Amino acid sequence: MSTTLSLHEYISVNPPFNTFQEAPISPEELEFFAEQEIIEIIPNFKLSTPGSMLYCIEGSFGPFQPNVPAEVPIYIALTLYRRNKCRILPPRWLSTSHLEVLVKEERQVSQHFQAIPFYYIEISKLLMTEASSIFGLDFTEIQNLLEEFKKIRNGKIQDGLSKVNGAITVRLTNLSANECNRIRVLFTSALNVWNQIGKNDRKWQEERRQGPM
């Protein structure tokens, strides 16, 4: 018998946001990419190189002079922070005031997603795990706002995808790397299911035409 399975039905049986087990990019790989993002620090030392600059394969960073702000990749910032060689300045979007606005607008506007750094989930995890003191007394509130923000976005994604039925184009803008990764898992699995159903349906139609042997 022919069977039609909508994406809504597939989501109900296979929730898309519970596991990274089959994700095309692992959480560790996403964190690696996020560590290349630029963040601002205030060094407490002077680097003995021309211009007090740090020369790396991906570029030059600095200058490294006491109390002079410098922009560096997150992996360099965390390395220096662990050695008490700098202060890390939290990104402006990772503050209570900014997150409160994001949460409010994300909840109110259902048609699209708020713009946020592509690796916001990984960046916030790295900083809040390895440099939690930079957030001071706001740490818990920032953590709660982030969780609420992610929950709202995940709900909107799941609600949007649950309405997909058939061959249509789905437009999801301003998604993060983490969210895109999860959606890839869902669509790949759903397409595999539909492909198998199509094969079974064609087989059933062929057997029906041939009739009983």
Q: What is the residue-level pLDDT of the chain in tens, covering all 213 positions?
A: 444 444 545 555 555 444 444 567 888 999 999 999 999 999 999 999 999 999 998 899 999 999 999 999 999 999 999 999 999 999 999 999 999 999 999 999 887 899 999 999 999 999 999 999 999 999 999 999 999 999 999 988 877 666 655 544 556 789 999 998 887 766 655 555 555 655 665 666 666 667 665
The confidence score (pLDDT) of residue 161 equals: 66
Q: How far apart are CA 171 and CA 113, in angstroms?
A: 11
The confidence score (pLDDT) of residue 21 equals: 46
- Cα distances (angstroms) measured from residue 138 to each of 69, 133, 142, 144, 159: 22, 10, 6, 10, 31
The confidence score (pLDDT) of residue 67 equals: 96
Burial bucket for residue 41 (CB in 10 Å: 0-12, 13-18, 19+): buried
Count CB-CB contacts under 10 A for residue 18.
8
The confidence score (pLDDT) of residue 180 equals: 87
The answer, as to whether pTM is greater than 0.85, is no
Instruction: Quote the Cα angle for 68-72-78, to 5°.
Output: 100
- Residue (of 100, 123, 103, 124) closest to 113 by Cα position: 103
The confidence score (pLDDT) of residue 81 equals: 98
Per the CB < 8 A criterion, the answer to whether 201 and 3 are in contact is: yes
Instruction: Quote the Cα angle for 89-116-154, to 5°.
Output: 125
The confidence score (pLDDT) of residue 24 equals: 73
Of the options 3.40.80.10, 3.40.190.10, 1.20.58.1020, 3.90.76.10, the CATH number for the domain spanning 7-36+92-207: 1.20.58.1020
The confidence score (pLDDT) of residue 36 equals: 96
Domain borders along the chain are 7-36+92-207
